[in-house]
Amino acid sequence: MKKRINFFGSVLTVFVIMLVSMVLVYRCTTDEGLLDPSGGSAATTQTVSNTDTQGNEFVPGEVLVKFRAGLSETRRTALLDMVSAKVSQKLLTQLMKAGGDSEGITIIKTDMSVNDAITKLNSQSGIEYAEPNYIYQHTYTSNDPYYTGGNLWGMYGDGTSPSNQYGSQAGEAWANNHIGSSDVYVGVIDQGIMYAHSDLSANMWTNPYDASDGVDNDGNGYIDDIRGWDFYNNDNSTYDGTSDYHGTHVAGTIGAVGGNSIGVAGVCWNVKIITAKFLGSNGGTTANAILAIDYLIGLKTLHSLNIIAINASWGGGGYSTSLYNAIERANTAGILFVAAAGNYGTNNDSTPFYPASYSNSNIISVINITSTGAKASSSNYGATSCDLGAPGSSIYSTYPGSGGSSAYASLTGTSMAAPHVTGAAALYKATNPTATAATIKSAILSSVVATTSLSGRCVSGGRLNVSGF
């Protein structure tokens, strides 16, 4: 049974852990063993502790290898023997094949130090690249879990009642009858989502192309993916209880049902949210993030789903060519990748935070601002590597309650800022159905409100404004 993640850690715990590893924004998991990239936790009690030279955490004993096309089996075997390794798993998605990649990515298990194995492999002509299987965590910090004031300041504008000029101005868009469309889809790569939540259920995607019959009816490689897929456990159960609170909270900010007289409202009252779970009790790996991205791209290309954006409220790890390439495949498919900037309070221009810091043109990197318009002290920033600010402090949203009940809670972090922007992308697409991903990104950045706290700290120098959407 999975343990519920304890996010009510002390400030001291957060401080100590941030010093220990630049991978974690806030280590809110319990170490239950190594993460098995094929799904679930491996049967071991060893604590994940391996890091690269920058302190980024990765799965011990595992390396992602891209062999050069046409390499002989004899040469492959020799390369594996050189680093005392065996093949563990092969990642070759339908999207990779469609792009002309017949090689894919090979996950190997080595008895050597991962850093030493990578150095040796990258010196060989038969290797395109070798890199760690990085571990990612969600990018939020918790605050008062009993926050029950119903303060949705992130949705307010200077012309709404109640008002807050530093909100996303979503209320003004709603007043102009811009509330989204069920023909627009977004993917949430995160924890799972409580799809039965009373404020989410109407906007959660159910796969009409694959009946629950033990057969892969739509041929996408996933059997009975009725409500998306769980890449952490490698099964179709995309909600596994209260431990999936983070994904549920993110989904509510994007698209909690509005106008239903209960709970909260997302930026988009009408939208379809697809779950691609890859975060679990030990975080999530590069390998599973790649599978999740390609899964969503596959749904768009296979079923012509109008998927306009992926929300990525997580980060950590070093630069990964494999993950960069997956995000670029999303770019080619016309899907935005909205990423949390991170919660170290550091400059991403000099200390990159991935995936937000990748150079793919479809990425929108989001800073956390408070209800007073200040850049949250914990939020990362970057004049060239971050794009805009959005509400991310004391954000009230959907949350799984005990006994399967629908609840609400307040969380803080760039994890909470990013879904405001993802919701904005969906809202714009609903009003402008022919808009491309590039057009939507341009519209979001060109409509920001200049904000003093963001001047010189992001590309736009301003905060999210959806009043014209």
Q: Has 190 been annotated as catalytic?
A: yes
Helix (H, G, I), strand (E, B) or coil at 194: coil
- Bond into 60 cis (ω within 30): no
Is 415 known to be catalytic?
Answer: yes
Residue 140 has what pLDDT?
54
Is-catalytic flag, 138? Answer: no
The active-site residue, picked from 36, 52, 190, 387, is 190
* Pairwise CA distance, residues 275 & 296, whole Å: 9
Residue numbers in the chain where pLDDT is lower than 50: 1-49, 141-150
- CA–CA dist 66, 90 (Å, integer): 10
**CA 355 – CA 274 distance, rounded (Å):** 20
Cα gap 37→59, rounded to integer Å: 9
pLDDT of residue 190: 98
Three-state SS at 97: helix
pLDDT of residue 161: 79
Tens of pLDDT, residue by residue over 375-404, are 999 999 999 999 999 999 999 999 999 999
CATH label, 141-463, candidates 3.30.479.10, 3.40.50.200, 3.40.350.10, 3.40.50.1820: 3.40.50.200
222 touches 238 (CB < 8 A): no
Give the 3-state secondary structure of residue 138: strand
Can you give the pLDDT at residue 450? 98
The catalytic residue among 138, 246, 249, 420 is 246
Cα 439 from Cα 372, distance rounded (Å): 30
pLDDT number for residue 13: 36
Q: Are strands 307-312 and 336-340 parallel, antiparallel or unpaired?
A: parallel
Annotated catalytic residue within 406, 415, 453, 460: 415
177-213 pLDDT tens trace: 999 999 999 999 999 999 999 999 999 999 999 999 9
Residue with tokens 């159960």: 237
pTM score of the predicted model: 0.85
Domain ranges within the chain, ordered by starting residue: 141-463
